[in-house]
Amino acid sequence: MPQGFAELLSRNAADLGLILPEVMVALAFIFGLVVELALPAKDAENAERRKTGTYVLLIGLLLALWINVNDMKAYVGSLDQAVTIYSTGRDGATVTVTRNTDMTSQDFIYSKMVVRDSFGTFVKFVLLLGTIVTVLVALNAKELESNGRGEFILLLAATCLGGMFLASSTNLLMLYLSLESLSIVSYAMAGFLRGDRKSSEAGLKYVMYGAMASGIMIFGISYLYGLTGTLNLDEVAAHFRGMEAGHAPHTRGALAAVLAMVFAGLLYKIAAVPFHYWAPDVYEGAPTTATGFFSVVPKAAGFAVLVRVIAAFFPIGDIDDQGFNFVTAEKVLTVVAILTMTIGNLAALGQSNAKRMLAYSSIAHAGYMLAGLAALSNANGAAAVLFYLVVYLLMNLGAFLVLVALENVRGSCDLDKLRGTIRREPLLGTALVIFLFSLTGMPPLAGFIGKYLIMLELASAGNWLLVVVMGLNSVISLYYYMRLAKAVAIDAPGETPVSGESNPPVLGVLAVGKVAMLLALFVWFEPVQKLCQQVMVPLLPSVDERFVAKPDAGSAVQDEARLTPAPSPEHLAATPEPER
Amino acid sequence: MLLTALILLPLLGAIPLLIVRDNNAREIKVWAIMISVLTFLISLPLYFNYDPDGELFQFVELYRWFSLQGLRARFSLGVDGISALLIVLTTFIMPIALLGSWNYIKDRQKEFYLCMLVLETAMIGVFAAQDLFLFFVFFEASLIPMYLLIGIWGGDNCIYATTKFVLYTVFGSLLMFVAILFVYHKCGAAHFGIAHLTEQLAQLREAGMLSRAEEFWCFWAFALAFAIKLPLWPLHTWLPDAHVEAPTPGSVVLAAVLLKMGGYGFLRLVVPFFPMASEAYAPLLMVLCIVGIIYGSLMAFTQKDMKKLIAYSSVAHLGTCMLGIFSFTAVGVQGGAYQMLNHGISTGALFLLVGMLYERTHTRMIDYYGGIAKIVPVFTVCFVLVTLSSIGLPLTNGFVGEFTCLMGAFQRNPWFGVFGGLGVVLGAVYMLYLVKRVFFGKVIRQSNEHLADIGGREMALILPLLAMIFVMGIAPNPFFRRMQPAVEEYLRLSKAHKPAPVAPAPRTVAARPAPAAPVPVPQDATELPDVGNEP
């Protein structure tokens, strides 16, 4: 055996330690599968044994979460010294810009295929949390009872694994592979209810659309490789910026077209307009548990990688970058965000099935998050998106959790069938109303803070159009959320036969926990917001590259105090009042 | 600590209700009423200990809420004379509304009292907040319980009404939210403190940094939110629906307190923030008020449903109130603020009385009654007294309020006074016509002959309101004195921009250059003649 190979092997083995959460999830998946196969359950008596594999998996996921939290702490802690804040303005708006001063905050693994940084660990935390909650819900979902619950739960973990790699890939090939592994498992989950026509249809549609989208994306990636000679995200982006600067004007159009293809694949994953057509059908047909999961976990992973790609190509938070493509990207994102939220909301208005309604609403929420990204010149826009992801995880997963519980009782998610369920399930019904108001963005719930932060950062970036459109969209969304809330909480129960069993208490506990989190995040959102801003730091353009020689570097201030907007007179300088 | 305690008490009081198993236990009602009475007692120092000669804002509290990178929203509370009185009005009405629902609400009582207590927290919060962000949070938070109150315990068509109510309000307030963000960014403010933002905006305007277009857009975004809440004609259409469908306690709270948020918003935010735009659009808004007064009165005259009649009369009365607030005269603004309290008391009482009739006969149609004065004499006396207050007879609170409002309007422009005064005449017409049709004449229905007269519990509800009607009618001075500093501050802020010329309809969009020496410029000649701005 050549020595180089042995060295490589040992180094790779050592690198395994750096992706411990992923390894943990993979191990949990394998062990869960083995246990599942080793303890086959042929009859109802053995149903309890059937859950053993799930418990193994759950323990693995919790371990991964714990390791990941420790990782996150380490990375965020290393950033504390690395944040410098500049205040400066464009169009009279005051912008606070965060800069990365520390280049050691990222660890590249496997020839720069995968990166470990605070951003990745944060997103992985969100993904793991979403998966664990969904596993608990799936354990109590009636729809999965005779359909191989164990396998379904294992698939959840596999999706999560794909998402975790997706969130931390810095190589286009790795990005593609993890996106595919995420998607293929999702296809299986969408079509999981074997006897159900709608579910099969959902699975098939998902495969068709997904194959198409990833085909386009890999086509784009192959061209990117041809144009730049590398697949590393940062190197490709560097080439791209060089060419944009005029070194190779004839390739600029080609680059733009290719980039559009790559983005099409990513926007497909987060179901942004005009790549959203698959979402309503898939969401309606898939098992409700899977729908809740789809609307949160793969979407969070999709957003994570979208943020990474955007940050590589268009330096987020660089208000001085007035390059053609930067401004274009801002405009394109603005248009996509407006279309996504408006079309999602308008389509949700007429739905009579709660699942389909929430499917469209989740399209709208993708629009809100895209709006945060559209504030490209403001680094905190992306941080606000991360905050929104956390809140969205809580409230949307919460809403689907209650839907699963109500479906257990009523057997369907049609609004007609859900009427008056609050009398049957007072706790879960009340929780649903709270989740819906939070989704609308009503204080005193965290949904309001999420929307508020995005609007605030948009305002800082001077994108008032999106602020107004977001405000109007909230009004539209209020209408259909109220329809669902009304059906559940206000209407008298219909004639629908009700199943005798009541829901297991664990669902109630989960719902109450989420409501409590939503209230707590409303009052004490600041630490989480700060965390989101910190984890974004490694993705921001570094100070060494751009800011050291800047003439306005002198205006940097080291703490929270903000400067007067550039053209204002001296006496407008803010004087913070003493606080107690 | 007083204000925090006031805000938290109903909320904390609602928590034990969550764990009660029995949905309709008598203890629930007793507990909720006890909490609201306790809140009222705690709020009394706001009236008695508010020192009109002291600082403008008293009972001030300030806690850090969040402050990230220069963005500060704070849990900042405080009251001036007007908000102190509005808070006391809220806590005063609340026990009455809760006791009034003793027999009315039979279904899902636990949730009902829960909603009412949460609503009380939100309402007190709106009036106590001195931070714009906090204000907005409470302003919005009051919607959710009200949505449920109308939606769950309302009449046959309540879903339509409650949806309309919420959509109208949210539409306005979200536009206001955008404007709040804009204002915050524009002045590079250190925090969301209302007084601080007012000051920053004034400085910005003085420096010529706030372009006319910006001020006017923001003005309309704010004004729309509060005009919908108030409601100002032609944005009033949600109000009759909401009132008719709401349960009696909901109507009482809606009329007595929630509508006041609109007027309060104009007093506290719209005019102090944007005095220039307010001055320019005041004539337009006053015309809308007058249209509202006349339209509301005529609509009230034609109604067959008593609740709808009173709802339309609210449109007219609040029109009078806004007429005073927009007159920018000391008398008028005092009257406007006073009229807000009056309207809360007398319209609240009217809804309560109609609710009592409804409990007995299950109809609110005027046709159904007739001649019941002989059957329920005490009830009739109460109703007539409240009616007299509503139409502004001397010695009742309505007279003081309407008279001062109209005097202010008259000082600004006699025509406003004359047309606004029509409201008093028309008010007498439709209210007395209502009394005639319901209480006097022949008894037209046999079933009405056994109507029970007002009972002990109901008497306990209505007596405090009657007492307040006369106290505020005979001795308005303590109230005026407490509101005086706040009114003066409002007038100072509304005239802060005065050195600059004011055009009624802004055509120029470009930023104004900084004004030179303060040259007094007369009102624009195309305006209706101006009869002095000071009383």
A503-515 per-position pLDDT tens digit: 778 888 888 898 8
In a domain, A1, yes or no: no
In this predicted structure, the answer to whether residue A459 has a pLDDT above a threshold of 90 is no
Cβ <8 Å between B152 and A478: no
Cβ <8 Å between B163 and A459: no
User: What does the pLDDT look like over B175-185, one tens digit per residue?
Assistant: 888 888 888 87
Residues of A in contact with B181 (CB under 8 A): 455-456, 459, 467
Q: Which pLDDT does position A126 carry in this prediction?
A: 92
Cβ <8 Å between B170 and A455: no
Q: Using CB atoms and an 8 Å cut-off, which of residues 150-179 of chain A contact chain B?
A: none
Residues of A in contact with B170 (CB under 8 A): 474-475, 478
Cβ <8 Å between A489 and B170: no
Of all residues in chain A, the one with the smallest CA distance to B158 is A490
Higher pLDDT pick, A77 / B195: B195
In this predicted structure, the answer to whether residue A392 has a pLDDT above a threshold of 90 is yes
Q: How many domains does chain A have?
A: 1
Q: Which pLDDT does position B515 carry in this prediction?
A: 43
In a domain, A267, yes or no: yes
Distance separating alpha carbons of residues A332 and A310, to the nearest angstrom? 12
Cβ <8 Å between B174 and A472: yes
Residue A95 C-alpha, separation from nearest chain B C-alpha, in angstroms? 9
In a domain, B375, yes or no: yes
Closest CA to B331 of B279, B409, B404: B404
User: What does the pLDDT look like over B98-143, one tens digit per residue?
Assistant: 888 877 777 778 888 888 898 999 999 999 988 888 898 888 888 8
Q: What percent of chain B has pLDDT over 90?
A: 4
Question: Which of the four pLDDT bands, split at 50, 70 and 90, describes residue A568?
Answer: very low
The answer to whether the CB of B363 falls within 8 A of the CB of B432 is: no
Q: Which residue has the tokens 């969550």?
A: B18
User: What does the pLDDT look like over A406-432, one tens digit per residue?
Assistant: 888 877 778 877 887 777 778 888 889
Q: Which pLDDT does position A547 carry in this prediction?
A: 39
CA–CA distances in Å: residue A166 to residues A136, A178, B173: 24, 5, 40
Higher pLDDT pick, A245 / B76: B76
Of all residues in chain B, the one with the smallest CA distance to A580 is B63
Q: Using CB atoms and an 8 Å cut-off, which of residues 83-102 of chain A contact chain B?
A: 85, 87, 92-94, 96
In this predicted structure, the answer to whether residue A93 has a pLDDT above a threshold of 50 is no
Q: What is the mean pLDDT of residues B483-500?
A: 78
Q: Which pLDDT does position B271 carry in this prediction?
A: 87
- Give every CB contact of residue A222 below 8 A, 6+ residues apart in sequence: none
Mean pLDDT of chain A: 78
- Give every CB contact of residue B516 below 8 A, 6+ residues apart in sequence: none
Higher pLDDT pick, B366 / B514: B366
- Give every CB contact of residue A143 below 8 A, 6+ residues apart in sequence: A193, A287, A288, A289, A404, A407, A408
For an interface test with B, give the residue of A432, A560, A564 to mutate (most B CBs within 10 A): A560
CA–CA distances in Å: residue B77 to residues A533, B59, B60, B337: 30, 8, 6, 20
Q: Which of A444, A475, A571 sits opposite B137 (nearest CB)?
A: A444
Whether residue A65 lies within 8 A of chain B, CB to CB, comes out as no
Residue A168 C-alpha, separation from nearest chain B C-alpha, in angstroms? 28
C-alpha dihedral sign at B84, B90, B96, B102:
negative
Cβ <8 Å between B67 and A526: yes
Whether residue A571 lies within 8 A of chain B, CB to CB, comes out as yes
Cβ <8 Å between B141 and A442: yes
Q: DSSP assignment, residue A462?
A: T
In this predicted structure, the answer to whether residue A79 has a pLDDT above a threshold of 70 is no
Q: Using CB atoms and an 8 Å cut-off, which of residues 504-523 of chain A contact chain B?
A: 523
Q: Which pLDDT does position A246 carry in this prediction?
A: 57
In a domain, A580, yes or no: no
In a domain, A574, yes or no: no
In this predicted structure, the answer to whether residue A566 has a pLDDT above a threshold of 50 is no
Whether residue A472 lies within 8 A of chain B, CB to CB, comes out as yes
Q: Using CB atoms and an 8 Å cut-off, which of residues 370-429 of chain A contact chain B?
A: 380
Q: Which pLDDT does position B518 carry in this prediction?
A: 43
Q: Domain containing B344: what range?
A: 280-497
Of all residues in chain A, the one with the smallest CA distance to B176 is A471
Pull the structure tokens for residue A479: 């209408």
Please tell me whether residue A88 adopts helix, strand or coil conformation: strand
In a domain, B410, yes or no: yes
Q: What is the mean pLDDT of residues A465-475?
A: 88
Q: Which pLDDT does position A49 carry in this prediction?
A: 55
Question: Of the ranges A450-464, B63-77, B282-296, B336-350, which one carries the lowest mean pLDDT score?
Answer: B63-77
Q: Which pLDDT does position A124 carry in this prediction?
A: 92
In this predicted structure, the answer to whether residue B246 has a pLDDT above a threshold of 60 is yes
Cβ <8 Å between B137 and A564: no
Question: Which of the four pLDDT bands, split at 50, 70 and 90, describes residue A32?
Answer: confident
Whether residue A467 lies within 8 A of chain B, CB to CB, comes out as yes
Residues of A in contact with B191 (CB under 8 A): 576-577
Q: How many domains does chain B have?
A: 1
Q: Which pLDDT does position A324 carry in this prediction?
A: 52
Cβ <8 Å between B182 and A562: no
Q: Which pLDDT does position A544 carry in this prediction?
A: 42
Pull the structure tokens for residue B129: 């907040």
Question: Which of the four pLDDT bands, split at 50, 70 and 90, describes residue A164?
Answer: very high
Q: Which pLDDT does position B524 carry in this prediction?
A: 41
Residue B399 C-alpha, separation from nearest chain A C-alpha, in angstroms? 39
User: What does the pLDDT look like over B189-233, one tens digit per residue?
Assistant: 777 888 888 888 888 887 777 788 888 888 898 998 999 888 888
The answer to whether the CB of B169 falls within 8 A of the CB of A463 is: no
Q: Domain containing A126: what range?
A: 18-557
Q: Which pLDDT does position A86 carry in this prediction?
A: 43
In this predicted structure, the answer to whether residue B509 has a pLDDT above a threshold of 60 is no
- Between CA A566 and CA A573, with CA A572 as vertex, the angle to 5 degrees is 75
The answer to whether the CB of A493 falls within 8 A of the CB of B192 is: no
Cβ <8 Å between B159 and A486: yes
Cβ <8 Å between A569 and B209: yes
Cβ <8 Å between B67 and A560: yes
In a domain, B260, yes or no: no
Residue A183 C-alpha, separation from nearest chain B C-alpha, in angstroms? 38
Cβ <8 Å between B63 and A580: yes
Residue B57 C-alpha, separation from nearest chain A C-alpha, in angstroms? 16
Q: Which of A96, A569, A574 sits opposite B189 (nearest CB)?
A: A574
Q: What is the mean pLDDT of residues A129-158?
A: 84
For an interface test with A, give the residue of B66, B67, B176 to mutate (most A CBs within 10 A): B66
Q: Which pLDDT does position A553 carry in this prediction?
A: 36
Give the number of other Cβ atoms within 10 Å of residue A130's Cβ: 29
Of all residues in chain B, the one with the smallest CA distance to A485 is B148
Residues of A in contact with B1 (CB under 8 A): none
For an interface test with B, give the residue of A435, A473, A486, A518 to mutate (most B CBs within 10 A): A486
Q: What is the mean pLDDT of residues A552-576?
A: 37
